[in-house]
Amino acid sequence: MSGAAADGNLFAGLPGGDDGEEFLALLSRDGVRIERIVSRGHASPPGFWYEEPQGEWVVVLAGEAHLRFADEAEPRVLRPGDFCDIAAGRRHRVEWTDPEGATVWLAVHYGAG
């Protein structure tokens, strides 16, 4: 993860066209961390599930993503403006992000962890 940004624009300096993810820390305070995530053609590895010790609230600002929860039959399709709260310990994974353009997320991590 890169160093925290003091001021800026969420769409400035988006990474180039290669597949993957980039994380940029925007703010870190007691119990709260905010980051910009840029995904381009990224998916979690087969069989891998995130199970974080803290909660995470995410919103898609640009692009599209399919977010899968272990306790749901189908992935959620997230488009610009769509958000969800992921409770601490809730197993989830990124099934798909648009390979043709940047999917820009804003993630707020909160609570223990």
Q: How confident is the model at residue 13 (pLDDT cuts 50, 70, 90)?
A: confident
In the chain the first and final C-alpha atoms are separated, in Å, by: 16
Q: Is residue 87 a part of any domain in this protein?
A: yes
Q: Is residue 6 a part of any domain in this protein?
A: no
CATH classification of the domain holding 90: 2.60.120.10
Q: Is residue 80 a part of any domain in this protein?
A: yes
Q: Is residue 31 a part of any domain in this protein?
A: yes
Q: Is residue 53 a part of any domain in this protein?
A: yes
CA atoms within 13 A on the CB side of 22: 18
DSSP, residue by residue, 67-81: EEETTSSSPEEE-TT
Q: Is residue 2 a part of any domain in this protein?
A: no
**What are 54-111's pLDDT values in tens digits?**
999 999 999 999 999 999 999 999 999 999 999 999 999 999 999 999 999 999 999 9
Q: Is residue 51 a part of any domain in this protein?
A: yes
Could you give the number of structural domains in the chain? 1
Q: Is residue 10 a part of any domain in this protein?
A: no
CA distances from 112 to 53, 55, 85 (A): 6, 8, 15
**What are 48-60's pLDDT values in tens digits?**
999 999 999 999 9
